Amino acid sequence: MAIITLLTDSGDSDHYVAAIKAKILSTNPGLNIIDITHRIQPCDLAHAAFVLRGVFREFPKGTVHLVGIHATGNREDAAIALQVEDHYFVGADNGLFGLITEKPHQKLVELNLIPNTNTTFPEKDIFAAAAAKLASGVNITSLGKPIPTFKKMIDRQMKATKKQITGHVLRVDNFGNLITNITQEAFDILSKGKNYTIQFGGEKFRKIHTLYNQAEEGECFILFNGSGLLEIGIYKGNASELLGLNYDSVVNITFDD
């Protein structure tokens, strides 16, 4: 069964999400709709990209991802559909899609499904209609005119030398854990045969855990999570509050000579 995922900043207290689903199902009642989340803060492209980047590859190839974040966009933001990594994405060309993967797109079109795109509800009127058609097997090239590129925001990058990795907190999750942009791949390469010190907010640690519960209750744990990113937390506590760290806080790993 074809799958459409929904990621929006519409919340769950109004009719908006239901209206988007109704539009999809009115086109093809056999489609399977999966909610990623609708609790992204309004217009928070960074959080939305973090969530989408972390989950879209878990779905089967060919899945259609409808992204309704800052959907009305700026005046010049077109409605687009793209194929990348054998997945399809539909949403506003507001820079978010450039944050979910570094791989080049396979196909890209500017949507022109309805003649008058001056809508106050593009998630339903444009994105849902396009997503339903894609999931029903319609070729992406029939949904609009091909365009060469789309807007790409640039995320803060990890910096690495032979002596140090410098990263930043990308996300404070629901548990208060601090998820950074320091990758396990970079750490594994640079740490071979070396001792290291992990430093953040005045704290220093020399150990990386493999499981959350290897730390005692109230103690700090540091590990590489399922996404391969360095994560800092307090076991059964809120690391952001207790360590005084938030989005964009600096984390350093220094390697001994």
pLDDT tens string, the chain, 257 residues long: the values are: 799 999 999 999 999 999 999 999 999 999 999 999 999 999 999 999 999 999 999 999 999 999 999 998 787 889 999 999 999 999 999 999 999 999 999 999 999 866 656 788 999 999 999 999 999 999 999 999 999 999 998 878 899 999 999 999 999 999 999 999 999 999 999 999 899 999 999 899 999 999 999 999 999 999 999 999 999 999 999 999 999 999 999 999 999 97
Please tell me the predicted confidence (pLDDT) of residue 30.
96
CATH number, position 221: 2.40.30.90
DSSP state of 92: E
Q: Which of 111, 146, 181 is the last residue of a domain?
A: 146
Domain count, the chain: 2
CA distance 22 to 222: 44
Q: Which of 94, 118, 146 is the last residue of a domain?
A: 146
Evaluate whether 7 touches 52 at the Cβ level (below 8 Å).
yes
Q: Which of 114, 146, 178 is the last residue of a domain?
A: 146
Same domain, 135 and 163: no
Predicted TM-score (pTM) of this structure:
0.88
Tell me which residue range forms the domain holding 87. 3-146
Q: How many CB atoms lie within 10 A of CB 5?
A: 23
Same domain, 72 and 173: no
Same domain, 7 and 118: yes
Same domain, 17 and 126: yes
Same domain, 180 and 139: no
Same domain, 184 and 223: yes
Q: How many CB atoms lie within 10 A of CB 80?
A: 25
CA distance 165 to 161: 6
Helix, strand, or coil here: 32? strand
Contacts of 225 (CB under 8 A, 6+ apart): 179, 231
Please tell me the predicted confidence (pLDDT) of residue 117.
60
Please tell me the predicted confidence (pLDDT) of residue 116.
52
Please tell me the predicted confidence (pLDDT) of residue 115.
60
